[in-house]
């Protein structure tokens, strides 16, 4: 499966204009009522792929601490806001945040590719997900100010269409589709679920990609 993932993301790159890219894909009511009225802030997350002893592929996720300003206590991918003083580009944002949150050195992971940018509902962020392979000998170090827990979800679970749930919700008089996965005792929903849905949907098993 790792070869499939590498091949699927081989020629991907970060968007030159994430806002314009999402405007082309989202329904017009959302573009007009939310995107065009919001000054979106840039951010990045890392879809970190790990390998078990029997080479099962998993995605590393975190549970955020309860006192954070945004998405407290929720399940997320390592990541955060673009910092003009520290980050040369959006890829560096994801690498820096992974180092700060889980202790993954910026040179430790292997960059595989990029998922198309996604909008974070209600927080005003436009997020670029990067896909990276985490080495087998990596031992995470939690930043207790931001991360309460780290766990992993098998990619096979995420690929199973029966694992993904969706519902329609109204936020600020705008109707959105909200996705979720229930894995063990963890509820993975919202932006994180949307990013994982996009990530697995782009893995090319049949020479057809669904971006």
- C-alpha span between 23 and 32 (Å, rounded): 9
Q: What is the pLDDT of residue 198?
A: 96
Percent of residues, the chain, with pLDDT higher than 90: 77
Domains, the chain, with CATH or none: 2-201 (3.90.79.10)
Instruction: Compute the average pLDDT of residues 88-98.
Output: 98
pLDDT 10s digits, 112-156: 999 999 998 778 999 999 999 999 999 999 999 999 999 999 999
Contact indicator for 113, 204 with CB cutoff of 8 Å? no
Q: What is the pLDDT of residue 66?
A: 76
pLDDT 10s digits, 176-202: 889 999 999 999 999 999 999 999 999
Q: Report the predicted TM-score, pTM, of the whole model to 2 decimal places.
A: 0.92
What's the first-to-final CA gap in the chain, in angstroms? 18
Helix (H, G, I), strand (E, B) or coil at 153: strand
């Amino acid at each position: 499966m790792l070869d499939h993932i590498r091949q699927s993301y081989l020629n991907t790159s970060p968007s030159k204009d994430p806002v314009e890219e999402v405007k082309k894909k989202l329904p017009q009511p959302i573009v007009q009522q939310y995107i065009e009225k919001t000054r979106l802030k840039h951010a990045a997350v890392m879809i970190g792929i790990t390998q078990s002893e029997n080479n099962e592929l998993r995605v590393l996720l975190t549970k955020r601490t309860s006192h954070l300003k945004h998405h407290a206590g929720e399940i997320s991918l390592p990541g955060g806001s673009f910092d003009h003083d520290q980050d040369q580009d959006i890829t560096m944002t994801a690498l820096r945040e992974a180092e700060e949150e889980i202790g993954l050195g910026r040179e430790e992971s292997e960059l595989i590719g990029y998922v198309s940018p996604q909008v974070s509902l209600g927080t005003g962020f436009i997020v670029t997900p990067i896909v990276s392979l985490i080495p087998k000998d990596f031992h995470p170090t939690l930043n207790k100010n931001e991360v309460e827990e780290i766990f992993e979800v098998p990619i096979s679970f995420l690929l199973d269409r029966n694992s993904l749930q969706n519902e329609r919700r109204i936020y600020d008089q705008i109707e959105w589709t909200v996705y979720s996965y229930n894995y063990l005792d963890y509820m993975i929903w919202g932006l994180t679920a949307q990013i994982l849905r996009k990530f697995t949907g782009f893995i090319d098993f049949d020479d057809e990609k669904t971006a």
